[in-house]
Amino acid sequence: MPITKTLPTLGITDKAFRYRHSTVTDIRKTFARIRREQAALQASKPSQTSLDLEATTVVPMPVTGRGAR
């Protein structure tokens, strides 16, 4: 899985940026909103259980080095 870099979507110098003091921010509502968004995203994705992800080939790995007999 490649590493992705997440940057802020809105810079602090942008005129659309509005500072909110921590006393005004309700983190429970923020987390509830994020959970709803994630649930909606999961509902729109196809189910992974419908895919047949079965390994049909097993390849033996040779023993080398100190553990070799």
CA angle, 60 then 68 then 61, to 5° = 15
Q: Tell me: the pLDDT tens digits for 2-44?
A: 788 887 777 788 888 888 888 888 899 999 999 999 999 988 8
Q: What is the pTM of this model?
A: 0.41
pLDDT attached to residue 36:
95
Q: Tell me: the pLDDT tens digits for 47-64?
A: 655 555 566 777 888 888
CA dist 40 and 48 (Å) reads 16
Does residue 69 surpass a pLDDT of 70? Answer: no
* Residue 31 φ then ψ, to 5°: -65, -35
Between 24 and 1, the higher pLDDT residue: 24
CA dist 33 and 12 (Å) reads 23
